[in-house]
Amino acid sequence: MKFAQDQIDSRYLIEAYEEGKIRVGNTEFRHNLLLMPDRLLDPWELESLEDLSAENIALLASHQPDVILLGSGTNQLFPHPSLFIPLMQAGIGYEIMPTHAACRTYNILLAEDRRVLAALTL
Task: Give the pTM.
Answer: 0.90
Q: With pLDDT > 90 as the criterion, what percentage of the chain qualifies?
A: 79
The DSSP bridge partners found for residue 120 are 33, 71
In which order are the strands placed within the sheet that holds 93-97?
A: 39-41, 33-36, 116-120, 67-71, 93-97
Q: How confident is the model at residue 12 (pLDDT cuts 50, 70, 90)?
A: very high
Question: Quick check: is 3 in a domain?
Answer: no
> At 45, which CATH number?
3.40.1230.10
What is the average pLDDT score of the chain?
A: 91
Question: Quick check: is 8 in a domain?
Answer: no
Question: Quick check: is 5 in a domain?
Answer: no
Within 10 Å of residue 93's Cβ, how many Cβ atoms?
Answer: 13
Range of the domain at 68: 14-120
Domain count, the chain: 1
Within 10 Å of residue 74's Cβ, how many Cβ atoms?
Answer: 13
Cα Rg of the chain, angstroms: 13
- What pLDDT is attached to residue 88? 95
Question: Quick check: is 6 in a domain?
Answer: no
Tally of CA atoms within 13 A in the half-sphere of 70 that contains its CB: 25
Return phi, psi of residue 94, to 5°. Answer: -150, 150
- What pLDDT is attached to residue 14? 96
Question: Quick check: is 79 in a domain?
Answer: yes
Tens digits of residue pLDDT in 81-105: 999 999 999 999 999 999 999 999 9
Question: Quick check: is 9 in a domain?
Answer: no
Tens digits of residue pLDDT in 42-70: 888 898 889 999 999 999 999 999 999 99
Question: Quick check: is 113 in a domain?
Answer: yes
